[in-house]
Every structure is written in C-alpha cells, then in structure tokens.
C-alpha cells in the first residue's frame, strides 16, 4: 500500500462510530449476540464501526468473547 | 444514534437468576456465590493477560498479582452495580466485562509506569509512514506526506489534540497508557484523536493532497 493510501485509510472516520463509552456500555450484550451468531453484529452497526476503528475496545471485545466462548 | 440494549427488563435465564439469588442472598449461600464468582474472575483475568501476551513484559509474580487485583476490583464493581443487571446478557458475560476492562486499565497503568514521560513530547515525524502501515515507498513521496500532515497538525489541531496525536500516532503510546497518564478516560482520548483525524483529512483535501492522489494512478 502506498503512503498516501495508508494515510487516507488511517484518516477515514465512520459517522456511525458510537465511541468507546457507548460501545463498552453494551459490550456484554453485543458479545452474547456475536457468540451465538457472528452475523448478529449487524444489529449494532455503530458498535461494529467503533470496534473496527478502536484498537483498545476491539481488544476488550476479543477478550470478552474469548472468555465467554471458553466458558461454554 | 444511541444504540441501546432494547428491553429494559428482560427475563433472566435460569443460570443468571441463580447467580442473582446467590449474590443477593445471605449466609453460606452468598459466601459460596461470592467465592465462586471471584474464582471465575481470577481465571478470566489470568487468561486475558495470557491472551494479550502480557507475560512478555511483566514478570510472572507481578502478572499474578495483577490478575488478582483485576479480579478484586471487578468484584467490587459488580457487587456495587448488581442492581443494574437487567438480564440483557448472561450474568457471567456481564460480570466478565468488568474484569476484562479492569485488565485493560491495569495494563495501561503498568505500561505508563514503565515508560518515560518524554514519549509524550518527542516528535519523530519520519516514523509516520511506518506508523500508518505503509509499505516501502519513494523517499520523495514519503517526505511530501510527512510535510503535509505536519502542516495539517500545526494549522488545524488544538494543543491538546496535537499532544494526543503525537503520543498515539507517532510515539506508539498505547491509548490506555495515555489515559492512565492524563487521568482521563478512553472515550475522551479516542474522541480527541477521532476529531484530529477528521481535521487533518479536511486540511489535506482542501489543499489538494488527497484529491490529487485519488485522481492519479494508484
């Protein structure tokens, strides 16, 4: 990828992105849905947009999903 | 748009109802529930630290302490907010969220203590292409990009936005470490950088940098 293409990708923001606070507020609900059906993420597009853009929140999502999946 | 969980009074599944009965009960029933929950939280914390490869930079004993601290703090938070659990997820999923977030926060604070504060101030702009994940490119192109972004940062960002952008983007300070350093929350830092990205993009478009690239050969 060229430097400019990488920059444009980095600078891109999704207006649907709900931010860390809202995403973490309902993370448990989102994770239960995704654990049952990976396509269920479509019900929360703002959370999905945020997790795609925010590394730390995505790590929390992966961690909670792993904990729930290992538990079942 | 605010995305909410929907039903504010969902019916509890059997396992969640059992947890609530135990944790709001008395005597031996409650003690057993507390012990069982704490054991689960410690297990989740240990696994989460392992999943994040924290053992690569935190010694074993300290790692174990960190897992127990995360579980203890999560336990306090869970008991304090038990009344707010409405059954929108399984109880354990709701509870595990607290310990996963505690692990994140504690790793951020640990990372910050291990690294010098000057990483907030240093500005090595030549690292920008690498930090964006760009492959090897021509020096002239990369120099032009760095110059354009630097100008955008200088002319459009507030001092606060600039400081956060430099720390996270140029200096690779983990966002949670920055949160710990500044005593703020993740959302505030994320939003500041989100807005900084929009401002920089707007500047680059207004000045023809990104438009020129879109029209030109890839």
Q: Collect all residues with Cβ–Cβ distance below 8 Å to A27 and sequence separation of at least 6.
A: A47, A57, A60, A61, A64, B97
Nearest to B48 by CA among B95, B94, B105, B100: B100
Scanning B56-75 for CB atoms below 8 A from A yields: none
At B183-200, the pLDDT tens digits run 999 999 999 999 999 999
Tokens read off for B14: 């059997």
Q: What pLDDT was estimated at residue B65? A: 96
Condensed to tens digits (0 to 9), the pLDDT of residues B124-175 reads 888 888 888 777 777 788 889 999 999 999 999 999 999 999 999 888 889 9
Q: pTM of the entire structure? A: 0.88
pLDDT tens by residue, B23-38: 999 999 999 999 999 9
Residue in the block written with tokens 């760095």: B146
Mean pLDDT of B80-97: 96
* DSSP state string for A57-68: HHHHHHHHHHHH
B174 contacts A3? CB cut-off 8 A = no
pLDDT of residue B5: 53
* 3-class DSSP assignment, residue B122: coil
Nearest partner of B178 among B115, B132, B135, B136, judged by Cα: B115
ipTM score assigned to the predicted complex: 0.93
DSSP assignment, residue B166?
Answer: I
Instruction: Map out the domains of chain B with their CATH numbers.
Output: 14-114 (1.10.1740), 119-215 (1.10.10.10)
pLDDT of B118 higher than 60: no
Do the beta carbons of residue B176 and residue B107 sit within 8 Å?
Answer: yes
Taken as a whole, chain B contains a residue count of 218
Contact call for B213 and A56, based on CB within 8 A: no
Residue B217 has pLDDT above 60, yes or no: no
% of chain A exceeding 70 in pLDDT: 99
């Amino acid at each position: 990828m060229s430097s400019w293409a990488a920059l444009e990708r980095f600078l891109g923001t999704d207006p649907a992105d709900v931010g860390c606070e809202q995403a973490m507020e309902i993370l448990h609900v989102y994770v239960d849905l995704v654990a049952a059906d990976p396509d269920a993420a479509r019900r929360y597009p703002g959370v999905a947009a945020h997790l795609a853009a925010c590394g730390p929140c995505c790590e929390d999502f992966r961690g909670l999903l792993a904990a729930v999946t290992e538990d079942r | 748009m605010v995305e909410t969980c929907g039903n504010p009074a969902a019916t509890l599944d059997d396992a969640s109802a059992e947890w609530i009965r135990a944790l709001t009960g008395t005597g031996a029933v409650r003690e057993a529930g507390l012990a069982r929950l704490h054991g689960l939280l410690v297990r989740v914390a240990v696994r989460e630290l392992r999943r994040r490869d924290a053992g690569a930079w935190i010694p074993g004993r300290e790692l174990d302490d960190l897992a127990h601290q995360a579980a203890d703090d999560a336990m306090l938070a869970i008991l304090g907010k038990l009344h707010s659990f409405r059954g929108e997820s399984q109880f354990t999923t709701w509870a595990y969220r607290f310990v996963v977030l505690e692990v994140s926060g504690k790793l951020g604070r640990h990372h910050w203590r291990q690294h010098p504060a000057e990483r907030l101030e240093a500005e090595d702009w030549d690292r920008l292409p690498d930090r964006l994940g760009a492959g090897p490119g021509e020096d002239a192109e990369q120099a032009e990009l760095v110059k354009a972004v630097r100008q955008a940062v200088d002319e459009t960002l507030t001092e606060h936005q600039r400081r956060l952008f430099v720390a996270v983007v140029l200096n690779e300070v983990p966002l949670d470490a920055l949160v710990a350093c500044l005593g703020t929350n993740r959302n505030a830092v994320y939003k500041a950088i989100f807005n900084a990205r929009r401002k920089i993009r707007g500047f680059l478009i207004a000045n023809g940098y990104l438009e020129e690239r879109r029209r030109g050969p890839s």
